[in-house]
Structure 1
Amino acid sequence: MGQRQLTCAVTSLPSGSSDLLTVKSTSLGQPPPRTGRAVNAQLVRVDGVSKTFPGVRALSDVSLTLDAGEVHALVGENGAGKSTLMKILAGIHHQDEGTVAIDGRVVEIDSPTAAQDLGISIIHQELSLMPDLTIAENIFIGRERRRGFGLFVDDADLNRRARELFDHLGIALDPRAKVGSLLVAQQQVVEIAKALSFDARIIIMDEPTAALTESETHALFGLIGDLKRHGTGIIYISHRLEELAAVADRITVLRDGACVGTLAARDADLRQVVSMMVGRQLRGQTRPPSLPGDLPTVLEVRGLSTKSLLKDVSFSLRRGEILGFAGLMGAGRTEVARAICGADRTDGGEIFLSGRRVRVSSPADAARLGIGYLSEDRKRFGLMLDQDVAFNIVASDLRRHVNAAGLVRDDQVRQTARRYVETLSIRTPSIRQRTKHLSGGNQQKVVIAKWLARDCEVLIFDEPTRGIDVGAKEEIYSLLRTLADEGKAIIMISSELPEVLRMADRIAVMCEGRLTAVLDNADADQETIMTHATKLVPGGGVAA
């Protein structure tokens, strides 16, 4: 990592562990140390920055500072301008007005290379890795050492450098593995390692914990604390507002492209921060009332197993119920969903729909049977980003929108798309807008609309609020509850325990491919869920 090496005491995991990072020192995983701003040198000063894209004013007269050894959190709803501002600092966009100063000197950051030369590195919210390259190739792309008169990349050297970096960061990954074979959380860790490999003085973290488990998040906080002690300045973007008290020194709120205010994190009331972000008060979190006991069973899974992970998973799902799935990363939650919808091959088990045994060999079979799966990676598996909103909505049920000659009925497509855009309050200039230009929350709504247009009775939501802001989360929560009230049977997989406790009528807990408990919401709390998620038993120890 250059001449300056981090001294964070993070260690690699033993084989078979479900988390990517673990903490060796008791000092790590604690909140990073607060900094005294009076003695810190100013690394970054943004003055009066504005940016306009065709039809959208993304930033308007935004100012921001970052000191050495400080974590400055930047929060706001999707579309508030956070990522645009960070992309200006990273050399991806250039501001229309205003200035950026590094170490007190006004600079022009006209490319990502220029940003790197100035000591700025960014961890993107949208993963920018190349799936067909190895982890090591992704981290050091453009910085490879060559052999054979410069004709060949020295792969052995790449892998060695990556392993040395991983040893510093405590990452248990094989540098030779293809990035496309990794889970989303693992790809996020690779993004973090890549950013840190540049030995940057200014690091921008855009939703770094969105795909991390609680223990991985604590380890990241320990790493942030070590970076701060070395004088690194960090701009930290997160929708998980509960993290701000633990990690941030100051909080700046953006709304509609403008600065609403900057607060000292130690003095900030999160309700005040939320109100500043959305311009309104959000309703308090409440648990769902108990469901009637006589609701009919829509989906029953018996003895579901796969060669790689799942072992004898059995559960039922009732009409009008939200069944939450909780557990650490790697516990098998997503694998259960993929097996039910035919995306992964099973090694045993039975699936029943309304009492009738069914065979699900592919996602097409699942869709035909009325099972819709909303993947945790909506951009990769849920949407065609270069297609418009209308096409994405009708894509899962295109046969109903073509005539006998196989031609698409445009009028019918427009009618269907407009109905769901209105029903789900999808914010888009038109149904012909390319989906990639929508915010994360509205993209998620398009995926939901796609399966509602197919009229699926069973909906499986895998991390439905990952990467979306608090306002959009409220809309998704309201939508899920409305769907359940209308009789849809819903499985919701989430890594956020408060979200599971808020939304789920019952909670299925998984550990290492097994279902360890199914809890009624009234009997569940975070400690109980984590006990079953780690197979811990009261008084310490591990369950057999």
Structure 2
Amino acid sequence: MTEPHPIGLSIRNGSKIYPGTQALKNVDFDLRMGAVNVLVGENGAGKSTLMKVIAGVEQLNGGTIELDGKQVVFADKADATRNGVGIVFQELNLFPNLTVAENIFVGHEKTLGGIHIDGQAQRTAAAALMKRLEQNIDPDTPLGNLRIGQQQIVEIAKALAEDARILILDEPTSALSATEVEVLFRVINDLKKQGVGIVYISHRLEELIRIGDYITVLRDGVITGSRSMQGVDIPWIVANMIGSASKEFPKTVEHDLGGEVFRVEDICLPSPAGGYAVNHMSLSVREGEIVGLYGLMGAGRSELLECIMAQHPNSSGRLFISGKPVKEKSVSGRIRRGLALIPEDRKRDGLVQIMTIRENLTLSSLYDFTRGFHLSLKAEAAKAAEFVKRMAIKIASPEHPVSSLSGGNQQKVVIGKALMTKPRILLMDEPSRGIDIGAKAEIFRTMRHLAADGLGILFVTSDLEEVLALSDRILVMANGKLTGQFPAGANAADVVSAATPNLNRVETL
């Protein structure tokens, strides 16, 4: 009797080490053909690293990869592609100034006699792919004219065009509408029947249970669970994702909470895909309170913080600081009123990489160091030195470029820059993203001390343990709405259940 889903690729004792962190620790992974192999874990668990190894983007420091029973080493992505491995990255790798057809065939163009690009053949093939994906997109459309969900579809078409035997989908539905998700699932079922082995990464647990045939759970670079999807439920996934042993997070600094310092009412942000990215959200924060905002990717948490910071002119709703309405419509106006944001992507939105550590720290507070028309460099340098010491930023000189610092120290610079504006409310979007466990503990200690000094903190995280260990109160978002509110010490399964409302209950209006 033949195995219905034979193992096409396997990794044994796979290890991957980056400076300061081990992303994968002796991982054994089997990828089964003609099936959806679901990969789940918290941010930083090692999922994307494992997929990059399979796709040839990264190489293992130890261990072996076998393809069809033969040991292989993929030198690069092109080598993996030649061996039938395709990947759709979470971050889109597309060219906005090229057409849809040109994007689909970039790097493996159809040619006439190996010399000239056969544009007509590419357009015909691209049109067939769009039809297969049930999209009415003209292959000659410049990619930059498409909305993000359609661009995601083009990224998937690009992988399909390479006739991959193994297809890796990293958060493929994060930008898709419900209709587009259904189309993708139909395509996945079609590929399964053709014997393609699919690896599917998603934070949306209801998707995983619906579409998966096999599941592998990663935690801190180690596989904690691997089995057939039959009988798997959300509590099993959560237990393997977070485990029983808690990470070393700082315990609560006991202090009394003050009165309400911040309130938002009825925040709405229209979504390009239709409906709302933020759907009538209301919440409040007290002085000295750390409020954790938990949810899965695409829940609308980051968009809510951006609305609060006036980054979406088309958003609506009301804001109050200490009971007084916030009328300012600009980012600088909101900073002056006492709001500060630590953005999720510190490199893109939080820092200017070519500027010095000093310049980055004082960037939002330059008005404090101006004397008439002149900037007092002495006062600026003194304040920067004070915050370097206060935030325990490890530097050789404040005049070095901020890009020379480790991820954890760059994050401390972003936090220091925000604190220099003397905020009343600190908004933190994934404050521990991409930093090692030691730097995390330091940043969480800082959050505790700031709260003890009376600062109100609203922080977004996808890390269940973080939200449970740090929050005085937990709010949960799904599909742009508030779907749950829990006190400190809440049950992990209840919090996850509120983040996946479609699977567990009919949402009450």
Please give the TM-score of this superposition, normalised by the length of structure 1.
0.61
Indicate whether 1:104 and 2:69 are aligned.
yes
Of the candidates 131, 141, 160, which is equivalent to residue 164 of structure 1? 131
Of the candidates 33, 55, 71, which is equivalent to residue 90 of structure 1? 55
Pairing 1:448-459 to 2, within 5 Å after superposition: 448-459=415-426
Of the candidates 203, 219, 226, which is equivalent to residue 167 of structure 2? 203
Paired AA for residue 416 in structure 1: F
Aligned partner of 1:417 in structure 2 is 388
| Contact residue 73 and residue 238 of structure 1 kept, 8 A | yes
How many Å separate the matches in 1 of 2:501 and 2:217?
36
Indicate whether 1:342 and 2:295 are aligned.
no
What SS does the corresponding residue of 2:419 show, helix, strand or coil?
helix
| Contact residue 510 and residue 517 of structure 1 kept, 8 A | yes
Indicate whether 1:281 and 2:246 are aligned.
yes
Shift of 1:46: 3.9
| Contact residue 110 and residue 118 of structure 2 kept, 8 A | no
Indicate whether 1:296 and 2:263 are aligned.
no
Moved more, 108-117 or 302-311: 302-311
Moved more, 190-199 or 495-504: 495-504
Aligned partner of 1:264 in structure 2 is 226
- Structure 1: tracts of 5 or more residues without a match: 1-35
Shift of 1:120: 0.5
Pairing 1:173-252 to 2, within 5 Å after superposition: 176=141, 178-179=143-144, 182=147, 191-208=155-172, 227-236=191-200, 247=212, 249=214, 251=216
Aligned partner of 1:67 in structure 2 is 32
What SS does the corresponding residue of 1:122 show, helix, strand or coil?
strand
Paired AA for residue 201 in structure 1: R
How many Å separate the matches in 1 of 2:240 and 2:279?
46
Indicate whether 1:44 and 2:9 are aligned.
yes
How many Å separate the matches in 1 of 2:23 and 2:478?
42
How many Å separate the matches in 2 of 1:429 and 1:377?
24
Please give the TM-score of this superposition, normalised by the length of structure 2.
0.64
Indicate whether 1:489 and 2:456 are aligned.
yes
| Contact residue 369 and residue 376 of structure 2 kept, 8 A | no
What SS does the corresponding residue of 2:133 show, helix, strand or coil?
helix
How many Å separate the matches in 1 of 2:70 and 2:220?
28
What SS does the corresponding residue of 1:265 show, helix, strand or coil?
strand
How many Å separate the matches in 2 of 1:472 and 1:371?
24
Aligned partner of 1:365 in structure 2 is 333
How many Å separate the matches in 1 of 2:487 and 2:6?
50
Change (3 A) 1:433 1:318: same
Q: Number of matched residues? A: 482
How many Å separate the matches in 2 of 1:254 and 1:315?
32
Change (3 A) 1:339 1:244: closer
Offset from partner CA, 1:325-344 (integer Å, 9 cap, x none): 78999997655543432323
| Contact residue 288 and residue 456 of structure 2 kept, 8 A | yes
Indicate whether 1:354 and 2:314 are aligned.
no
Offset from partner CA, 1:202-236 (integer Å, 9 cap, x none): 12344556677999889877765664454332445
Offset from partner CA, 1:389-438 (integer Å, 9 cap, x none): 7765554345668996665866754552353256xxx9x99996865985
Paired AA for residue 92 in structure 1: V
| Contact residue 203 and residue 297 of structure 2 kept, 8 A | no
Aligned partner of 1:29 in structure 2 is none
Shift of 1:347: 8.1
How many Å separate the matches in 1 of 2:66 and 2:367?
56
Offset from partner CA, 1:347-394 (integer Å, 9 cap, x none): 876654334455423222222322123445555433445667776555
How many Å separate the matches in 2 of 1:370 and 1:203?
47
How many Å separate the matches in 2 of 1:436 and 1:216?
42
| Contact residue 144 and residue 158 of structure 1 kept, 8 A | no
Offset from partner CA, 1:231-260 (integer Å, 9 cap, x none): 33244556788987774635375757xxx5
Change (3 A) 1:190 1:337: farther
| Contact residue 23 and residue 220 of structure 2 kept, 8 A | no
Offset from partner CA, 1:250-273 (integer Å, 9 cap, x none): 5375757xxx56743359785466
Q: CA RMSD in A?
A: 6.1
Shift of 1:68: 1.9
- Structure 2: tracts of 5 or more residues without a match: none
Moved more, 364-373 or 84-93: 84-93
How many Å separate the matches in 2 of 1:100 and 1:273?
25
| Contact residue 305 and residue 349 of structure 1 kept, 8 A | yes
How many Å separate the matches in 2 of 1:312 and 1:50?
45
Change (3 A) 1:313 1:87: closer
How many Å separate the matches in 2 of 1:529 and 1:177?
36
Change (3 A) 1:193 1:152: closer
Moved more, 350-359 or 108-117: 350-359
Shift of 1:43: 1.9
| Contact residue 17 and residue 23 of structure 2 kept, 8 A | yes
Shift of 1:117: 1.9
What SS does the corresponding residue of 2:246 show, helix, strand or coil?
coil
Paired AA for residue 264 in structure 1: S
Paired AA for residue 343 in structure 1: Q
Change (3 A) 1:93 1:154: same
Offset from partner CA, 1:95-143 (integer Å, 9 cap, x none): 5666544223344533322221211112334443445556665444345
Shift of 1:537: 7.4
